[in-house]
Amino acid sequence: MADPLTDTDWAAGVASLRRTPQQARSKARLARVLETAERVLVEEGVEALTTTRIAAEARVSVGSLYQYLPDRGAIIEALAAGYFAKLEAAMDDLVDAAAAQRWVDPVGILIDAFASIYRTEHGFRALWFGSGLTEQTRAADREHKRRMADGIRRILLALDLAEDDEALARTCHAAMLAADALAQEAFRRDRTGDAALLDEAKVMLRGYLGEVAERYRGRTRQGDR
């Protein structure tokens, strides 16, 4: 099992909490509860995430747990928020790296980077594939994908491969949705990610985003005349 998310990562789930812990001891207790929930999620699935089970294994009272996480849905939402925050932080780092390193193959680098994260984030995969997601979590996932798509947009702009307009935002969102669907299937087939399918994802997305870059270069060449 991968190392649990840090207190900072779990803090991203605070918006879904009934109350926000203020004292260091309360924050540590909540982190322990969520680490316990992640372990149960990985080992037994979403269905095992009951408040009584998590409270008992985290060695806290049910009443104490209810202050922050009143039901299974709240536990799922807090876990998901932590995973989303971690993935979005990784995307921010990749945007900075793209600008500094002038990547030749951004699609290959992005898919390899996130496949590496998915291989170690067993809890995220358990939620990703689970059938017990709440409507709030599904809505949060849609917004998460839009933020990840914006990361792709920022990378293309940093590499001077596109023009920043509404069409680019739409293109990057479509690319993100396609990449996510293919990655899900790759990791359903193989817990380490089906390499052949991930390679096909790279081919498809290079072609799709390559057309965007080629149109941009064509307009740029015309503008230089």
Tens of pLDDT along 6-35? Answer: 544 444 444 455 556 556 777 888 889 999
Asked whether residue 2 is domain-assigned, the answer is no
For residues 62 and 102, state if they share a domain.
Answer: no
Q: Which of 72, 95, 116 is at the close of a domain? A: 72
User: What tokens appear for 11 in the block?
Assistant: 């803090």
pLDDT of residue 4 exceeding 50: no
Mean pLDDT of 172-182: 97
Number of domains into which the chain is organized = 2
* Cβ burial, residue 135 (10 Å; 0-12/13-18/19+): exposed
Split at pLDDT 50, 70, 90, the class of 1 is very low
For residues 215 and 184, state if they share a domain.
Answer: yes
Task: For helices 122-129 and 24-44, give the axis angle rounded to 10 degrees.
Answer: 60
For residues 94 and 29, state if they share a domain.
Answer: no
For residues 159 and 196, state if they share a domain.
Answer: yes
Asked whether residue 1 is domain-assigned, the answer is no
For residues 64 and 132, state if they share a domain.
Answer: no
Mean pLDDT of 116-121: 94
The per-residue pLDDT for 24 is: 77
The per-residue pLDDT for 224 is: 58
pLDDT of residue 3 exceeding 60: no
Average pLDDT taken over every residue of the chain: 88
Task: For helices 166-189 and 106-120, give the axis angle rounded to 10 degrees.
Answer: 40
For residues 144 and 187, state if they share a domain.
Answer: yes
Residue ranges making up the domain that contains 19:
7-72
Asked whether residue 62 is domain-assigned, the answer is yes
Query: What tens digit of pLDDT does each residue of 124-170 get?
Result: 998 888 767 888 999 999 999 999 999 999 999 999 999 999 999 99
For residues 212 and 114, state if they share a domain.
Answer: yes
**Which CATH number do you get for residue 55?**
1.10.10.60
Q: Which of 42, 72, 102 is at the close of a domain? A: 72
Low-confidence winner among 75-84, 108-117, 125-134, 166-175 (lowest mean pLDDT): 125-134
Residue 27 CB contacts under 8 Å (≥ 6 apart), including other chains: 7, 11, 21
Mean pLDDT of 90-107: 96
Give strand ranges (E) for the chain.
none
Question: Is 19 or 185 the better-scoring residue by pLDDT?
Answer: 185
For residues 35 and 90, state if they share a domain.
Answer: no
Cα–Cα nearest to 174, from 138, 214, 219, 212: 212
Low-confidence winner among 96-100, 124-128, 170-174, 214-218 (lowest mean pLDDT): 214-218
The Cα angle at residue 58 between residues 54 and 63, in degrees rounded to 5: 70
For residues 140 and 87, state if they share a domain.
Answer: yes
Q: Which of 43, 72, 101 is at the close of a domain? A: 72
Asked whether residue 63 is domain-assigned, the answer is yes
For residues 22 and 109, state if they share a domain.
Answer: no
